Amino acid sequence: MASQLLILNKKQIQQKIDRIAYQILEDNLNEKEIVLAGIWDRGYKLALRLEKVLKKISGFKLTLLRIDLQKESSKLVASTDLDESHWKNKVIIIVDDVLNSGKTLAYGLGVFLNTPHKKIRTVVLVDRSHKIFPIATDFVGLELATILKEHVDVVMDVEGEEDRVYLS
């Protein structure tokens, strides 16, 4: 079995989620409404966790949106659980657990390109910085220098009991 190195423990993950929530608040002081768009499945869990903190620290009306990415033959197809009326003319925050090449976030972003919006921001818990797509990460938990063959495993649940990030 490949060796696993614990990169972030439960407490550190919660601290990063709290910090990112405060950064989102600071970046949107004049806003009333925010759409958190989590990429299924771990990005969606992270979006749920951010929603929980933002409910405590902000007065935002929060909409949680799920982005699904499915492989159809060699293509990726993105879809959402809610229609565009839920994000039209709003601030959208796309959330995923890890950024590696940027492809997943690029597809997530694609969902919103044909609808007017106020602004789009991105959140990742871990940015591995192997970008081959021009995707900016606005709010990042941890920037991690990794080699390509390494794998970042994010374990996360809604309550935060199981939270761990490993490098293997």
List residues bridging with 150 in a β-sheet.
none
Give the one residue of 58, 104, 122, 137 binding ligand PRP; rule: CB under 6 A.
104
Alpha helices in 38-163 (DSSP H): 42-57, 103-110
Give the one residue of 14, 63, 80, 101 binding ligand PRP; rule: CB under 6 A.
101
Q: Which amino acid would we find at residue 118?
A: K
d(CA 76, CA 65): 19
129 binds ligand PRP (CB under 6 A): no
Q: How far is the CB of 137 from ligand PRP (least distance, A)?
A: 10
Structure-derived torsion over alpha carbons of residues 84, 80, 152, 134, reported in degrees to the nearest 10: -40
Q: How far is the CB of 41 from ligand PRP (least distance, A)?
A: 8
Q: How far is the CB of 64 from ligand PRP (least distance, A)?
A: 17
User: In the complex, which residues of this chain contact ligand PRP (CB under 6 A)?
Assistant: 39, 42, 96-104
